[in-house]
């Protein structure tokens, strides 16, 4: 399911996605679709993870009188709606090709306006499936270094999800989850 398009980037692995507005898509995404920690497909084959969001609203702070009431704005100044936007930051974690998932820095540069869509469980499983070790999360160091203050909760959410998708690997995922939780929480307190 499409949720938006790439509108900007902060680095090769960190792109901004603007969420589709109601009039831009037949099935515009709802609040439940654009949640923190969702896996998304960017463009044809690049896999990303939503780790941050921003709300763009030029009207914020403008407390002067308006000629139109909020209900009339859509009628008299429809462009005004376009100036409001929801942006999400997507951390690019690798690629998903026919042969399987490849975790690491993506080779391709994501084009502007590349489509961003939600990944289903099957795609998430394929991306994390490693023929040798069943499940892989090689992007953990990259998430820790790029996602800043929200890295720990982001990874907790990802690992919880993977524990559900890979029940046979739940015990070792749990050890890693606890190790990260301990490290991020205790280091923050110290």
Partner 1 sequence: MDVLIGTVKGPGESSHEYCFITTDNHLSKIGEFVYYPVVLDGERCPILGKITERKLVRSLPDAFMADPQISPKEVAALLGGELGEAELFEVTVAIAGRFDPKLKGFLNPRIPPDPGAKVYVASNAFLTQVLSPRAQDQVGSAHLGSLLTRAPGEVPIVLDVKNLVSTHLAILASTGSGKSYTAGVLVEELMKPYNRAAVLIVDPHGEYGTLNALESHPAFAQGGYRPRVKVIPHDRVKIRISSLTEADIKALLPMMSEKMMAFIGKAFDRLKRRDSHLWGIRDLLAALDSLRAEGAEDDPASNASTIEGLRWRLEDRFARSNIFDDKDHIPLPELFTPGQVTVLQLNEIDQVEQQIIVATVARRVNRARMDTKTGKALDGESFIPYPVFMLLEEAHRFAPAGASVVSTPILKTILAEGRKFGVGVGLITQRPGKLDADVLSQCMTQFIMRIVNPIDQQTIAQSVEGAGRDLLDELPALTKGQVIVSGVAVNTPVLCQVRARLTEHGGETIDAPAEWLDYFGLSQTTAREQDAALLASPAKQERYKGYSI
Which residues contact partner 1 (rule: CB under 8 A)?
130, 132-133, 135-138, 140-141, 169, 171-176, 178-179, 182-183
Contact in structure between 95 and 107 (CB atoms under 8 Å): yes
Q: How far is the CB of 92 from partner 1 (least distance, A)?
A: 18
Shortest Å distance, C-beta 105 to partner 1: 14
Pick the closer one to partner 1 by CB: 126 or 172.
172
Choose between 29 and 106: whose C-beta lies nearer to partner 1: 106
Buried b (16+ CB within 10 A) or exposed e, 63-83: eeeeeeeeeebeeeeeeeeee
Shortest Å, Cβ 166 to partner 1: 10
173 closest CA partner among 186, 183, 160: 160
Cα separations in angstroms, 119 against 38, 68, 76, 123: 8, 41, 38, 6
Whichever of 118 and 143 has its CB closer to partner 1, that residue is: 143
Nearest approach, Cβ of 50 to partner 1 (angstroms)? 22
What residues does 135 pair with on adjacent strands? Answer: 129
Output 41 or 180, the one with its CB closest to partner 1: 180
Please answer whether residues 91 and 155 qualify as being in contact, where contact means their C-beta atoms are separated by less than 8 angstroms.
Answer: no
């Amino acid at each position: 399911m499409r949720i938006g398009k790439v509108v900007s980037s902060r680095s090769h692995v960190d792109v901004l996605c603007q969420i589709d507005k109601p009039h831009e898509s037949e099935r515009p995404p709802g609040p439940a679709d654009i949640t923190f920690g969702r896996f998304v497909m960017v463009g044809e084959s690049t896999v990303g993870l939503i780790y941050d969001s921003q709300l763009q609203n030029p009207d914020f702070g403008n407390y002067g009188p308006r000629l139109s009431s909020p209900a009339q704005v859509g009628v008299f100044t429809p462009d005004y709606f376009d100036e409001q936007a929801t942006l999400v930051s997507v951390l690019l974690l690798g690629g998903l090709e026919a042969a399987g998932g490849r975790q690491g820095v993506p080779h391709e540069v994501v084009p502007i306006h590349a489509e961003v869509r939600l990944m289903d469980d099957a795609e998430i499983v394929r991306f994390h499936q490693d023929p040798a070790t069943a499940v892989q999360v090689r992007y953990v160091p990259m998430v820790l270094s790029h996602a800043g203050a929200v890295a720990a909760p982001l990874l907790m959410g990802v690992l919880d999800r993977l524990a559900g998708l890979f029940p046979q690997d739940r015990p070792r995922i749990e050890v890693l989850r606890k190790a990260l939780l301990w490290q991020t929480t205790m280091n923050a307190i110290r």
